[in-house]
DNA sequence: CGCTACGTTGAGAACAATCAACCCCGGTGG
DNA sequence: CCACCGGGGTTGATTGTTCTCAACGTAGCG
């Protein structure tokens, strides 16, 4: 499975802990991801287990139904996860950014597919080794449980969106969600890049591309947002956006 | 918060381990829940931390936004969890049966409300004590992580349902989901009780009661199901139901 | 014996999907 | 250089599924 992606540096087992440790120390996602909970002196154990991974935009990382060989941690870039119905209908279940996990929810096969939206960097942990890591470092397991809990809460928010929000509410909520996540990564709060296509957004919100597009236009005319070049969006009236997201018309 | 529910037996701290152990040994949900991973000789530690709890049908267990004081494990009966929008729209995020967890996904306050559908029994763990339990028994923490992962996978399935399935597909999927869960609890595979109202089902599927009702009728006319007295449903043609659930018309 | 909550069915309205046209942009090849 | 192509995005006209509003049936309960 990993043969289908560009691996930088061969996966030599526990060879160069010093260099690896440095990898982790300069990791742009430290503080957001599972390693954030690790003591500095234990970090080389993590570094030894992981393989760094670069993935070009558009490449598939994992496919639904394939054997779940690895656990991943995004350090840079953006990915989407999605599920397909037999007839091709698609539901995008999430967008992943630096610090996000991938590959937790699975038995022996992945229950979803994942694809890079931009060039991305990840840490790949072979499942077996990752589990040994968790046994050795309870702090890490605890951190993982916390992150899984947060994902569960986010999933329930998404159920509200999918089940009970109107199209305009969905689009407004989506923009605010993205803005919130970017902000948590230290990016500007009122300006964000839409790395995903309208089609990705539509499949995330349970809409069609046309409906997403129309509602973006409406938000633009209302003065909530400005669409700039190459997918940049400026949130000019966040308060109004927040009202729209919860149903005040 | 617990004062609003009927507690059988006062929550005396670590008083009668012998009796408590027996409680756990006869627990109808052992094998399904977090205690299933515990060694028999460690079970009294769990028993000491928990307060058994009985909840009458219709009673509220927790409310969204309230301080999250306890973690719960259902041992008997059925509950629903739901979220409300400011204007009263409701999304039922899940139905809970014996073995299911409640109260995991939260910071300091609950992110959802929960209400009993039938008379129910639960184990209530004060959060602090529960966390100490997890630190002491890594097997239990591991089990919790596994269960959280499974919930996450289920949540993604639900997103597909909410975002991409038609009303008939939603209703068929719902019946099959319930049947599957009953079966896992050792109940008959082709006959089940709908403990929830049409309104609960509608809010779970992102539909209205009318649409649920209409589609139940259609399934009945197609010979998939038979509606019997007091909410009993017989799944007479499971294969057809499975086709309908995935979009074969 | 009515009351109320729940469930079913019908008629019409509304929202989002579908079908279709068009624009823009970047890449490719004549 | 420019014509062509294809993917992504926007906008318009029409269709259709689901919602809304309304009536009625039924079962449980004081």
Nearest to B91 among A105, A144, A159 (CB): A159
More confident residue, B116 or B230: B116
Per-residue model confidence (pLDDT) at position A4: 44
Q: Which of residues 210-239 of B touch strand D (CB under 7 A)?
A: 210-211, 229-230
Nearest residue of B to residue A113 by CA position?
B156
Q: Reduced to 3 states, what is the DSSP secondary structure of residue A94?
A: strand
Name the residue with higher pLDDT: A60 or B107.
A60
Question: Which region among A24-33, A45-54, B53-62, B69-78 has the lowest average model confidence (pLDDT)?
Answer: A24-33
Give the SS3 label for residue A123: strand
Tell me the nearest-neighbour CA distance from A175 into chain B, angstroms.
Answer: 18
Q: At what angle do helices B167-184 and B209-222 cross, to 10 degrees?
A: 80
DSSP structure class, residue B67: B
Q: How many CB pairs under 8 A join A and B?
A: 128
Contact partners, residue B57, CB within 8 Å, separation at least 6: B116, B117, B118, B119, B120
pLDDT at residue A226, as a whole number: 96
**Cα A19 → chain centroid:** 27
**Strand D lies under 7 A from the Cβ of residue A166:** no
pLDDT tens-digit series, residues A115-165? 999 999 999 999 999 999 999 999 999 999 999 999 999 999 999 999 999
Work out if A209's Cβ lies within 7 angstroms of strand D: yes
Query: What pLDDT score does B21 carry?
Result: 52
- pLDDT per position as a tens digit, B130-183: 999 999 999 999 999 999 999 999 999 999 999 999 999 999 999 999 999 999
Could B156 and A86 be called an inter-chain contact, meaning their C-beta atoms sit closer than 8 Å?
no
The nearest CA of chain B is from the CA of A10 a distance in Å of 30
- Nearest by CB to residue B160, choosing from A83, A151, A160, is A83
Query: Residue B236: is it exposed, middle or buried by C-beta count within 10 angstroms (0-12/13-18/19+)?
Result: middle
Span A172-179, average pLDDT: 98
B232 CA: distance to closest CA in chain A (Å): 26
User: B199 CA, C12 C1': separation in Å?
Assistant: 23
pLDDT in tens, A238-247: 999 999 999 8
pLDDT, averaged across chain B: 89
Give the pLDDT mean for B105-121.
Answer: 91
pLDDT at residue B53 tops 50? yes
- Looking up tokens 């129309």 gives A214
C-alpha count within 13 angstroms, C-beta hemisphere, residue B17: 8
pLDDT tens for residues A197-239?
Answer: 999 999 999 999 999 999 999 999 999 999 998 899 999 999 9
Quick one: residue B17, left, alpha or beta (phi over 0 = left, psi -120 to 50 = alpha)?
A: alpha
Residues of chain B with pLDDT > 90: what percent?
74
CB contact (8 A) between residue B247 and residue A87: yes
The dihedrals phi and psi of A227, each to the nearest 5 degrees, come to -95, 120
Q: Which nucleotide C1' is nearest A209 CA?
A: D9
**pLDDT tens across B200-212, in order?**
999 999 999 999 9
Q: Is residue A217's beta carbon less than 7 angstroms from any atom in nucleic acid strand D? A: yes
Q: Are B208 and A48 in contact (CB under 8 A)?
A: no
**In Å, what is the separation between the CA of B84 and the C1' of C2?**
34
B93 pLDDT above the threshold of 70: yes
- What are A15-65's pLDDT values in tens digits? 344 455 556 777 878 878 888 878 888 888 888 888 999 999 999 999 999
Euclidean distance between CA atoms A144 and B152, whole angstroms: 13
Q: Which two tokens stand for residue B59?
A: 């009673």
> Inter-chain contact B152–A149, Cβ cutoff 8 Å?
no
DSSP A150: H
Residue with tokens 């054997």: A67
| β-sheet bridge partners, residue B81 | B94, B114
Contact between A141 and B142 using a beta-carbon 8 Å cutoff = yes
**Model confidence pLDDT, tens digit, residues A92-113:** 999 999 999 999 876 799 999 9
B3 touches strand D (CB under 7 A): no
Buried b (16+ CB within 10 A) or exposed e, B77-98: bbbbbbbbeeeebbbbbbbbbb
């Amino acid at each position: 499975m990993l043969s289908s992606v560009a691996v930088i540096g061969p996966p030599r087992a526990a060879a160069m802990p010093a260099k690896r440790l440095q990898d982790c120390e300069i990791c742009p996602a430290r503080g957001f991801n599972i390693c954030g909970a690790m003591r500095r002196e234990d970090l080389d154990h993590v570094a030894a287990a992981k393989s760094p991974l670069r993935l070009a935009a558009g490449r598939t990382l994992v496919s639904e139904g394939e054997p779940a060989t690895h656990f991943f941690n995004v350090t840079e870039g953006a990915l989407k996860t999605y599920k397909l119905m037999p007839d091709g209908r698609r539901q995008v279940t999430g967008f992943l950014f630096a610090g996000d996990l991938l590959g937790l929810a699975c038995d022996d096969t992945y229950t979803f597919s994942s694809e890079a939206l931009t060039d991305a960097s990840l840490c790949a942990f072979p499942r077996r080794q990752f589990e040994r890591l968790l046994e050795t470092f309870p702090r890490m397991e605890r951190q993982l449980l916390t992150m899984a809990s947060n994902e569960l809460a986010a999933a329930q928010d998404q159920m509200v969106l999918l089940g009970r929000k109107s199209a305009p509410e969905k689009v407004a909520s989506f923009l605010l969600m993205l803005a919130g996540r970017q902000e948590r990564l230290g990016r500007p709060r009122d300006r964000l890049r839409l790395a995903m296509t309208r089609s990705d957004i539509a499949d995330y919100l349970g809409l069609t591309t046309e409906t997403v597009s129309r509602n973006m236009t409406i938000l633009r005319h209302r003065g909530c947002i400005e669409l700039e070049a190459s997918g940049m969006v400026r949130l000019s009236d966040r308060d109004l956006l927040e009202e729209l997201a919860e149903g005040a018309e």
